[in-house]
Chains A and B, each alone.
Chain A
Amino acid sequence: KQEVTQIPAALSVPEGENLVLNCSFTDSAIYNLQWFRQDPGKGLTSLLLIQSSQREQTSGRLNASLDKSSGRSTLYIAASQPGDSATYLCAVEETSGSRLTFGEGTQLTVNP
């Protein structure tokens, strides 16, 4: 059974800092890995999707990497802003069209 773990569970940084969120998964036979953002009381918003054949994806200040063989992904946020404060969730899809298995999330607070 696939298990997804995220470290740290919570992170507080001053505005402007670059930061890294970590995600690990137990079964490397994945189809893709996705990073989501969840604001309090809201649904999830997709940030980046990395196919299993890819090594990284970038969107603005966000960069996600994938090392399938070691079962790890990182989400890099450059020049953090207070508006980046949210919970970040990592999820893996094992086969096309199948379930997403989510990590517990990292709660990020960026202080002005």
Chain B
Amino acid sequence: DAGVIQSPRHEVTEMGQEVTLRCKPISGHDYLFWYRQTMMRGLELLIYFNNNVPIDDSGMPEDRFSAKMPNASFSTLKIQPSEPRDSAVYFCASRRSSGKETQYFGPGTRLLVL
């Protein structure tokens, strides 16, 4: 299996621009998670989906952030408009339903907002 796939791996943009991050979970996994990692705040959960339905979005920092999962094999995290404080590494992870399964993380997208 190819593992969790994220794109792009690096993104540099200017403040005010729209940013879209993409994730393809592992086939057969029905949970998908979006995390953000910064030096100041560590690794934080932003939102997660179960069977393509958002379950908990309490970690989404504000209305500028939105996430979608139109089907079982694709999810997006969008920031509009982007701000310098959004600079971070964004990880996508997926797992199966079984409670004994761990989460499998993608390589992350390193975002820099100038």
Taking Cβ atoms with an 8 Å cutoff, the residues of A that contact B are 31-32, 34, 36, 41-46, 49, 51, 89, 93, 96-105
- A31, A51, A89, A93: which contacts B43 (Cβ < 8 A)? A89
B108 within 8 A of A: yes
Q: Is the CB of B42 within 8 A of A102?
A: yes
Identify 17 residue pairs between A and B in the complex whose beta-carbon atoms are under 8 Å apart, listed by A's number: A32-B100, A34-B103, A41-B110, A43-B91, A43-B105, A43-B108, A44-B43, A51-B99, A96-B99, A97-B55, A97-B99, A99-B48, A100-B33, A100-B45, A100-B103, A102-B42, A102-B44
Taking Cβ atoms with an 8 Å cutoff, the residues of B that contact A are 4, 31, 33, 42-45, 48, 50, 55-56, 59, 91, 93, 97, 99-100, 102-108, 110
CB distance from B28 to the nearest CB of A (A): 15
A34 nearest CB neighbor, chain B only? B102
- B45, B99, B102, B105: which contacts A99 (Cβ < 8 A)? B45
| Known contacts A97-B97, A105-B42; A46/B50 CB under 8 A | no
Please name all residues of chain B whose beta carbon is closer than 8 Å to the beta carbon of A41 when the two chains form the complex.
Answer: 110
CB distance from A43 to the nearest CB of B (A): 4
Q: Is the CB of B100 within 8 A of A49?
A: yes
CB distance from A68 to the nearest CB of B (A): 15
Q: Is the CB of B42 within 8 A of A45?
A: no
The DSSP consensus for interface residues of chain A is strand
| A44–B103 alpha-carbon span in the complex (Å) | 9
B98 nearest CB neighbor, chain A only? A96
- A31, A45, A97: which contacts B105 (Cβ < 8 A)? A45
CB distance from B36 to the nearest CB of A (A): 11
| Known contacts A43-B91, A46-B103, A97-B99; A104/B48 CB under 8 A | no
| A99–B43 alpha-carbon span in the complex (Å) | 12
Q: Is the CB of A104 within 8 A of B45?
A: no
Please name all residues of chain A whose beta carbon is closer than 8 Å to the beta carbon of B108 when the two chains form the complex.
Answer: 42-43
| A103–B43 alpha-carbon span in the complex (Å) | 8
CB distance from A39 to the nearest CB of B (A): 11
Q: Is the CB of A44 within 8 A of B105?
A: yes
